[in-house]
Chain A
Amino acid sequence: MAYEDEPKIIHQHINVPDIRKIGVYEANGGYSAWRKALSEMSGDEVLNEVKASGLGGRGGAWFPTGVKWSFMPKPVFPKYLVCNCDESEPGTFSNREIVLKHPHILLEGFMLGCYAIGCNHGYIYVRGEMMKGYAVLRQALAEARARGYVGKNVLGSGFDLEITLHTGAGAYICGEETALLSSLEGDRGQPRLKPPFPAVAGLYAKPTSVNNVETLSNVAYIIREGADAFKQYGTEEKPGMKIVSVSGHVNRPGNYECPVGTPIRKVLEEYAGGVWKGKELKGFYPGGSSTPMLGPDKLDTPLAPKAIEAAGSILGTAGLCIFDEDTDIVHVAARLIRFYKHESCGKCTPCREGNDWLVAVLRRLDEGRGKDGDLDMLLDMAGNIAGRSFCLLGDAAAAPVVSSIKEFRADFEKRITNPPDEKIFIPLSIANGH
């Protein structure tokens, strides 16, 4: 079956012309789940349906969404639902497409989420750079308000709901849920100690659930069609579909929605048209740059959390980045670490100082000035960052270093023993003094 003909959930109507407009969205079944919930379901029933569907958080952690919602203490008010639309993991771009083309599917899921947990004022945190996406959401939200789907006494149901669009201003760390809440409260986007978890004390120290765009965009389908319909796709462990963002050296980079458990090979070869220019595959990372790189021998691994873990990596956001046979892995590792150094929030020492040192050593390797012992030093430093940082950014930064050395050690050694005659200096990013 051609990709276009395969079943989809979020992408089912994404290319319908003008699906961004509320009338077109409704003509394609939009907001029927919201009406259904308000007329025949209680908030608990919506929550239980999502729980029964097995929907897991698509932002990368894959934690069961319904379970996360059920952790919120009932008698505490107000409660908050916050949508994490701070997509900035290198190689991940599925949320951007949803927001730009299909904003109402997110808004409907967000409304259902608010109803499920008893939240009367929710916030959607859109990364600052996503200006067009923000503007599209603002128009869509105004339309939803004009229809009466948001506001006081929604559709006469007695349920009050306000939705606010908030915006970041350029900081990868704000994708970490507690950093996002700090940012939303008007502070620097730095992570907070857990516990207390946001479910107990999140936004304004009230019970809060932070959910990813893609997660919430699945909720309308689950409520409209039922948990069993959702579970017909995917694996027993993680039902449903996942949008895989394919980038790097492929013929057709893009977002492909396919059942959880689809083999990486199928996504690469059938959907994305294979490695570009007829070249061979050198390696890839499967779930955004924070997940360990793998070699071609892992190409048949299914895109499901446990399977990817068994293969030595993490499914994460399913941001699949492909490297062709000529890729300079030493440079890729150096450039990725430059990213983490830039994005470290500076709160804890292992991440702030460690990434700086990783960049220094990787840079000299990249430039052909590496020394014996550099690889062991890199692994030692990475080992002192991972698991010892305040939040997961430290682990994320260590992953590309450790995995690239593990998978492609010969490339690194060659760069030390046979430095290129001509200095191949490729500048690392200069990022505006920040």
Chain B
Amino acid sequence: MMSDAAIARIEEICKEYPNRKSALVPALYVAQREYGGWLPREALREVAEELDLPDSHVYAVASFYSMFFLKPVGQNIIQVCTTSPCELRGARDAVECFKKRLGVGVGETTADGQFTLMEVECLAACDRAPMAQINEDYYLDIDETRANEIVDALSRGEKPPYAEFEKNLGGSHPIAFSDEELGIDVSGIMPAEPVVKKEKPAEAPADAAAKA
């Protein structure tokens, strides 16, 4: 069962849309966070009930998108981008580094359940290839040293160096977190001065139209 906090977050997200179906992808992220990184059937049914959608629709959507896992995965998910621009700059070597270090093949999880290694398609960071998404963070310019440093830190339960997020989100999408949990901070930001509407002479709109 999802926690009250998770249900509250889903309800908060629902307010952003004219219908509850639009909140489905965000709600699946919330559920995936709740269920430890993947979506068992039970989680899909709960989301369906919460959003008042058919089970089949929720399953159809969850199975369409590559970021929802319908089978258990390791605690840490290492996703190396191997699409051509990355591959041209050595993504294949980066995959080998992780394979060697973890002793698993692509698509496999280590025996202790700590790491799953995957290849994924373009992550839009081709300038810093080889790169990988590991849990919630992108890691850039990956070589053997860096790959080992990352795995070492994650094995100790620490955030690796050069992570994008300071906070550990456990691989969950930040949309599954409330503002407070994410540390959204607007303290010290004061409302701006209101604008003063400038009255225009009657011919002004005609001018603008002529200019266009």
B-binding residues in A (CB < 8 A): 22-23, 31, 35, 38-40, 42, 44-45, 48-49, 51-52, 87-93, 95-96, 127-132, 134-135, 138-139, 142-143, 145-149, 155-157, 162, 164-172, 183-189, 204, 245-249, 253-255, 289, 319, 321, 323, 327, 332, 335-336, 339, 342-343, 345, 426-427, 429-434
Are B64 and A51 closer than 8 Å at their CB atoms?
A: no
Are A248 and B208 closer than 8 Å at their CB atoms?
A: no
A-binding residues in B (CB < 8 A): 16-19, 21-26, 28-29, 51, 53, 60-61, 64-68, 71, 82-85, 87-89, 92, 106-107, 118-129, 133, 136-138, 164-165, 169, 173-175, 179, 182, 184-186, 189-198, 200, 205, 208-209, 211-212
A88's partner among B53, B122, B192 (CB-CB below 8 A) is B122
B61's partner among A134, A187, A245 (CB-CB below 8 A) is A187
In the assembled complex, how far is the CB of residue B170 from the closest CB belonging to chain A, in whole angstroms?
A: 12
Chain A at the B interface: mostly helix, strand, loop or mixed? Answer: mixed
What residues of chain A lie closer than 8 Å to B84, measured between beta carbons?
90-91, 289, 321, 332, 335-336, 339
Are A186 and B23 closer than 8 Å at their CB atoms?
A: yes
What residues of chain A lie closer than 8 Å to B133, measured between beta carbons?
129
In the assembled complex, how far is the CB of residue A409 from the closest CB belonging to chain B, in whole angstroms?
A: 19
What residues of chain B lie closer than 8 Å to A336, measured between beta carbons?
83-84
Interface contacts beyond A188-B64, A430-B118: sample of 14 additional A-B pairs, CB < 8 Å, sorted by A: A35-B195, A48-B212, A128-B25, A135-B174, A138-B174, A146-B189, A155-B193, A156-B194, A168-B65, A321-B84, A321-B126, A332-B88, A343-B121, A433-B71
Task: Enumerate 23 A-B pairs (CB-CB under 8 Å) in ascending A order.
Answer: A39-B198, A48-B208, A48-B211, A89-B122, A93-B127, A96-B125, A128-B65, A132-B137, A134-B174, A135-B174, A139-B185, A149-B192, A169-B68, A185-B22, A189-B65, A253-B129, A321-B85, A339-B84, A429-B82, A431-B66, A431-B119, A433-B107, A434-B66
Are B26 and A430 closer than 8 Å at their CB atoms?
A: no
Chain B at the A interface: mostly helix, strand, loop or mixed? Answer: loop
Are B191 and A90 closer than 8 Å at their CB atoms?
A: no
Are B164 and A132 closer than 8 Å at their CB atoms?
A: yes
Are B197 and A39 closer than 8 Å at their CB atoms?
A: yes
What residues of chain A lie closer than 8 Å to B23, measured between beta carbons?
186
Also in contact, A429 and B126, with CB within 8 A (given A90-B83, A167-B175, A169-B28): no
Are A184 and B124 closer than 8 Å at their CB atoms?
A: no
In the assembled complex, how far is the CB of residue B38 from the closest CB belonging to chain A, in whole angstroms?
A: 12
In the assembled complex, how far is the CB of residue A148 from the closest CB belonging to chain B, in whole angstroms?
A: 4
A-B residue pairs, 10 tightest by C-beta = A156-B194, A170-B66, A169-B65, A186-B21, A247-B126, A48-B212, A186-B24, A170-B67, A39-B195, A253-B127
In the assembled complex, how far is the CB of residue B66 from the closest CB belonging to chain A, in whole angstroms?
A: 3
What residues of chain A lie closer than 8 Å to B192, measured between beta carbons?
31, 35, 147-149, 155
In the assembled complex, how far is the CB of residue A171 from the closest CB belonging to chain B, in whole angstroms?
A: 5
What residues of chain B lie closer than 8 Å to A91, measured between beta carbons?
84-85, 122, 126
In the assembled complex, how far is the CB of residue A360 from the closest CB belonging to chain B, in whole angstroms?
A: 19
Separation of A52 and B207 alpha carbons in the complex (Å):
13
What residues of chain A lie closer than 8 Å to B129, measured between beta carbons?
247, 253
Are B64 and A142 closer than 8 Å at their CB atoms?
A: no
Also in contact, A249 and B88, with CB within 8 A (given A146-B186, A149-B192, A169-B28): yes
Are B164 and A143 closer than 8 Å at their CB atoms?
A: no
Separation of A88 and B120 alpha carbons in the complex (Å):
12
What residues of chain A lie closer than 8 Å to B61, measured between beta carbons?
186-188
What residues of chain A lie closer than 8 Å to B197, measured between beta carbons?
38-40, 157
What residues of chain B lie closer than 8 Å to A184, measured between beta carbons?
22
What residues of chain B lie closer than 8 Å to A156, measured between beta carbons?
194-195
Are B212 and A52 closer than 8 Å at their CB atoms?
A: yes
In the assembled complex, how far is the CB of residue B163 from the closest CB belonging to chain A, in whole angstroms?
A: 9
Are A342 and B121 closer than 8 Å at their CB atoms?
A: yes
Separation of A155 and B24 alpha carbons in the complex (Å):
33
In the assembled complex, how far is the CB of residue A333 from the closest CB belonging to chain B, in whole angstroms?
A: 9
In the assembled complex, how far is the CB of residue B60 from the closest CB belonging to chain A, in whole angstroms?
A: 6
